Amino acid sequence: MAEQNMINNRYKIISNVGADKSGYFLTLQDSVDQKKYYTKLIKIQNNNMSAESLYALQLRMKRLMKISHTNIISVSEPELAEEGLLLRQTAVTGASLKDVIQRQGRPLPLKTAYRISLDIASALAALHSEGLVHGELDPSHIWIDPEGKAYLSFLELPPAFDMDRPVYEMPDLMPGTELQPDVDIFAFGVLLLEMCTALSPYRSSGDGTDVEEYSHLFAYYKECVSESAGLEVPELVPVLSRCLTDNKSLRYKDGEELYWAIRAVVEKDLPKKELPPEDNNPSQKKSKKGKDKKTGGQSGFVTSGKGRKSAALPLALVLLILIGAGVYLWLTHPEFLNDLPKIASVFNKTETETTPVYQETLSLLHVTQTAMEVQSVQKTAEDLPTETPLPTETPLPEPTATPLPRPITPLSGRSIRWNADDSLMAAVPEETFTMGSDHTFLFDMEGVLPRHRVALSAYWIDVREVTQAQYARCVAEGVCQPIERIADEWIGDDLPIMNVRWTDAQVYCTWAGKRLPTEAEWEKAARGTDGRLYPWGNFSRGIGIYPNRLHRSGQDPQDLSPYGVMDMAGNVSEWVNDFYSETRLINDTELNNPIGPISGNMHTVKGGSFLAPEQESASFVFSRSGAAPDAVRNYGFRCVVSADEVDTTKAAEDEPLALAEAVQSVENPADCTDHAGFVSDITIPDGTVVKKGEFITKTWELSNIGTCAWTENYKVVWGDETFTNDQKLFDVGVALQPGESGEISVTFQAKGDGPTRIFFVLANPEGETFKMGPNSRGDLYIDYNAE
């Protein structure tokens, strides 16, 4: 089998970020140069995209490769992989604007909104100057790095993945027409409204091309602009008006015109407002150039394409300003020149090199002007009388040192309280474990993975399934979608959330600063490293012990894993991150942090459910099924976070957890055999009269005539196809070495009418069954007369 965590035998899959209707998103690392990429893999069998649209997408990505700008995330050559079309762009640390707005609330602080507006307008100007249009501008295509700098992305970003795309689409765009810059201008206006006001963007109730809907939308935005007159910065009102007007002739013609309008607002507001970082801080001299731009000057936005001829004028002006300032400083205070950046590297470029970054030029001017202002202040101070001494400066108190974030080591039995959603999380240390099963005790189970070894890095996992109260907080913050189809008897704050789609679960985990677990992470948290069948161990729960009702998360003390995780065999089944494949071949080798198949139409569901028809088999740690990501069933979920992402700023250490007991096992030789011999009937000899429906206990004396030692968790399996029983697995309950014999019992309700014979088989803890006798051909049965 091909390596699961590689694409094209070159790119290592770092993380599975999410999916939309056309493909899925991954973080990859190039095994050659170790560069990281954020990517989208368009599935080969994709009913949502035609061959023509796929070809157009490749051409678009190739054109976008020519764009080089400080606020645009660079894209790479599209590649055809075995799984589909691979689109790559440089990986950037940070979060999408959608995520920033959700976390900080609206409106954004003015400084933040200024910075984002300038950065994105600058990027649009560069894009439009090359004759390109973004066409999908919305908060899921804007990336904010930890320093607050905004980047334009051509791939949709988590957690929204284009979910709100129609909100930012220009309504008067006719299908099939070539995109023009005004589609980006309109989308920018909606973004500006969203960042700088508390007003909500217009959400269509139907087809955006409908005439009535069309008129309603522009009437709504006209009213919004009117209400925005009370903004803290009223100068933004005309900008909003020109972006969101239905009169195309009044809209900004392209990103450059838009940029100068935004920049003028920032400059006008400069004396009284908090400004963005210096690299976006326009100087007064540059402002004059901006006014000239409206009558035909050039902006000097950076692209890797051929620059416009008129770009020489602004560069000449910049040179004159810098040279003049430099001469002045050299004649007066030459020491200031030692602190100025070296500008030779900015201007000494060949024709084939990228033109100077606009923000860097502004930064140079800002440093020069600051130095001149300092010189002016110092000269003025020299002319003032000095007889009156300055007051003695009062020393400031020593600031209290802020404690540095401290990582929390994930040791078995340890727990943390995750701040974002107040969830208790259990530690799962870095260990290797056995995943899957080769035998299933005669249960008809589909999709079970073969046994294989898996190595996982350390992580933390929610002790309990996400509750309805926790999910409601995410809904209240406008991030998660409400769940409307929960029956009244299943509603309660402490009950697990259910009927969520896979995308709902993913959005919640992202909102909480976590992620959905991989199938391997989920199974290890349930199974531990001793190969157990159930989270609590290998013993089978007796008749009526399996809960057949929904209960509060964490209320069943017996449903407890070796790491202290609860409800993994019952309550509700749970979404995990992996795509689902029913048949998979896995080499009998150790896999490191597997993420499952890299494509598929369904996602994997793990764990038992109070609604499962066969609760025994659903409780196996290796049980699994698949469902479409938009399926609305009784599925819940829990989240995980990698150990290296946890520190004392995100979580607090909590009390030690109760853990399931270790499984007592016997190390049998690999080639040992299982065989059983009949000794005698202890209870209910053949032909005994019993009452139909009453509970009866059949006891045999059996001997171990094989070479494997039996543990107490060897099983007696209900193997009769004529009669069914609620309980199918019964523990042998006695440990027998080869040659030893002991009493083994099963308890069940009497079936049938009149003479009845029910058959059983034996099984080892791995699920491999065997019958009676040295050749495993004899039957183990109970024979009675039911009345």
Instruction: Please write down the HEC assignment for all residues of 73-126.
Output: CCECCCEEECCEEEEEEECCCCEEHHHHHHHHCCCCCHHHHHHHHHHHHHHHHH
Q: Which range (80-84, 96-100, 368-372, 465-469) has the least confidence? A: 368-372
* pLDDT 10s digits, 555-610: 888 899 999 999 999 899 999 999 998 877 676 555 888 888 877 889 999 999 98
* pLDDT 10s digits, 347-357: 233 333 333 33
- CA separation (Å) from 649 to 95, 404, 407, 424, 703? 18, 9, 9, 15, 60
Per-residue pLDDT, averaged over 435-457, amounts to: 91
**Biggest distance spanned by C-alpha atoms of the chain:** 124
473 C-beta neighbours (distance < 10 Å), count? 17
Amino acid at 781: Y
Confidence check: pLDDT of 385 > 60: no
**Per-residue pLDDT, 545:** 62
If 0-12 CB within 10 Å is exposed, 13-18 middle and 19+ buried, where does residue 104 land? exposed
Average pLDDT for the chain = 80
How large is the angle between the packed helices 358-383 and 284-293, nearest 10 degrees? 140
Confidence check: pLDDT of 307 > 80: no
Confidence check: pLDDT of 273 > 50: no
How sure is the predictor about 342, in pLDDT bands with cuts at 50, 70 and 90? very low
Q: Which range (322-326, 350-354, 573-577, 726-730) has the least confidence? A: 350-354
How sure is the predictor about 172, in pLDDT bands with cuts at 50, 70 and 90? low
Q: What percent of the chain has pLDDT over 70?
A: 77
Confidence check: pLDDT of 180 > 60: yes
CA distance 26 to 6: 11
CA distance 371 to 527: 66
Per-residue pLDDT, averaged over 50-68, amounts to: 82
Beta partners for residue 418, in sequence order: 423, 651
- Higher-pLDDT residue of 393 and 573 is 573
Strand 79-81 and strand 431-435: pairing? unpaired
- Higher-pLDDT residue of 726 and 508 is 508
* pLDDT 10s digits, 102-118: 888 888 988 899 899 99
Running DSSP on this structure, what letter comes out for residue 164? T
SS3 label, residue 252: coil
DSSP letter string, 661-708: PPPP-----TT----EEEEEE-SS-TTEEE-TTSEEEEEEEEEE-SSS
Q: Which range (119-128, 478-487, 543-552, 688-697) has the least confidence? A: 543-552
**Per-residue pLDDT, 4:** 55
How sure is the predictor about 45, in pLDDT bands with cuts at 50, 70 and 90? low
Per-residue pLDDT, averaged over 158-179, amounts to: 77
Helix, strand, coil share of the chain (percent; to 5): 30, 20, 50
**Per-residue pLDDT, 274:** 47
Query: Sign (positive/negative) of CA torsion 720, 726, 486, 516?
Result: negative
- Higher-pLDDT residue of 408 and 6 is 408
**Per-residue pLDDT, 702:** 97
Q: What is the CA radius of gyration of the chain?
A: 34
Q: Which range (176-180, 249-253, 700-704) has the least confidence? A: 176-180
How sure is the predictor about 363, in pLDDT bands with cuts at 50, 70 and 90? very low
**Per-residue pLDDT, 176:** 67
- Higher-pLDDT residue of 680 and 92 is 680
Confidence check: pLDDT of 295 > 60: no
Per-residue pLDDT, averaged over 466-493, amounts to: 92
Per-residue pLDDT, averaged over 249-263, amounts to: 93
- Phi, psi angles (nearest 5°) of residue 90: -60, 135
Per-residue pLDDT, averaged over 168-173, amounts to: 78
Beta partners for residue 467, in sequence order: 496
How sure is the predictor about 757, in pLDDT bands with cuts at 50, 70 and 90? very high
**In whole angstroms, what separates CA 65 from the centre of its chain?**
27
| First-to-last C-alpha distance (Å) of the chain | 57
Token output for 347? 């201007």
If 0-12 CB within 10 Å is exposed, 13-18 middle and 19+ buried, where does residue 97 land? buried
669 CB contacts (<8 Å, ≥6 apart)? 707, 708
Confidence check: pLDDT of 387 > 60: no
Q: Where are the alpha helices (DSSP H) in 559-689?
A: 615-618
- pTM beyond 0.75: the answer is no
Amino acid at 532: R
Confidence check: pLDDT of 218 > 70: yes
Confidence check: pLDDT of 431 > 70: yes
* pLDDT 10s digits, 5-35: 788 888 888 888 877 777 788 899 998 989 9
- Phi, psi angles (nearest 5°) of residue 578: -65, 145
Per-residue pLDDT, averaged over 696-710, amounts to: 96
**Per-residue pLDDT, 55:** 79
**Element (DSSP H or E) covering residue 71:** none
